[in-house]
Chain A
């Protein structure tokens, strides 16, 4: 089975995110009142051949641990949809 997989990687909440802070300040300058806590992460998609959605998710988790995510500074979420 073929799965479309999405991975959202975000800076951990206890990590300073200067890029998010700079964007937040720019939004404030543009008078978007009420916008706060801007965080900038990464969004990845990939297709994966696997026997089940659980197997696909497990494989993506392995990829995240091996390369895609730095566990010291980043959190991530995975979603998989059969094509």
Chain B
């Protein structure tokens, strides 16, 4: 498996993603600058968290139109694995690779804490090593993670089983109290129609070793390793 982590001006979780891929998973891992036209032949492309371009205009708006995104779109269109975490999720939406929008948290606070996620779909390369309805503990750190979609987009996401994670409480119940940002239907992540692009606000890369408080996020990377071993790219 070869992973590329794209670095935009203002990315600040790039090294967490590089660490998870390189040191935790042992994958060949390369950083890719946002002006690059090439993804160095990577099987997996990660758009990391941060504040690309200072969140100017809208979160992810300028990064979503930066030069490297042409290569990312081509990679995704060819079925290549593409993961956007936090600001990376915002960038994928702004680039048109995922539906919806991420608005200011309804509480108006920047929320930085551990949350629980319920696994709602194991039918993807990102979640195949998980169990349906399993509860994962991973951190969030964002001010604009309030997922919004049109009625039609939301209906499609539900019908096509494209919502792999929802915020839940410790018992795995989807409640308003467990929703940290006001996201529609507690949505924490969405898949593309082809199921090869995932955007999520929580940070699995920051929860990939017990030393940092949770290794639950590693399950996502293990899913990708399984998918790669089965299919290859």
- A residues sitting closer than 8 Å to B (CB atoms) are 15-16, 18-19, 22, 66-68, 70, 72-73
- B residues sitting closer than 8 Å to A (CB atoms) are 57-58, 61-62, 65, 94, 100-101, 103-108, 146, 148-150, 182
Residues of B close to A68: CB separation below 8 A? 57
Contacting pair A67 B150 (CB below 8 A): no
Residues of B close to A15: CB separation below 8 A? 103, 148
Closest B residue, CB atoms, query A16? B106
User: How many whole Å from B59's CB to the nearest CB in chain A?
Assistant: 10
Contacting pair B148 A19 (CB below 8 A): no
Contacting pair B106 A72 (CB below 8 A): no
Closest A residue, CB atoms, query B99? A72
Residues of B close to A22: CB separation below 8 A? 108
Q: Contacting A18 at CB < 8 Å: which of B61, B94, B106, B148?
A: B106
Residues of A close to B65: CB separation below 8 A? 66-67
User: How many whole Å from A79's CB to the nearest CB in chain B?
Assistant: 20
User: How many whole Å from B230's CB to the nearest CB in chain A?
Assistant: 36
Q: How far is B103's CA from A57's CA once the two chains are assembled, in angstroms?
A: 28
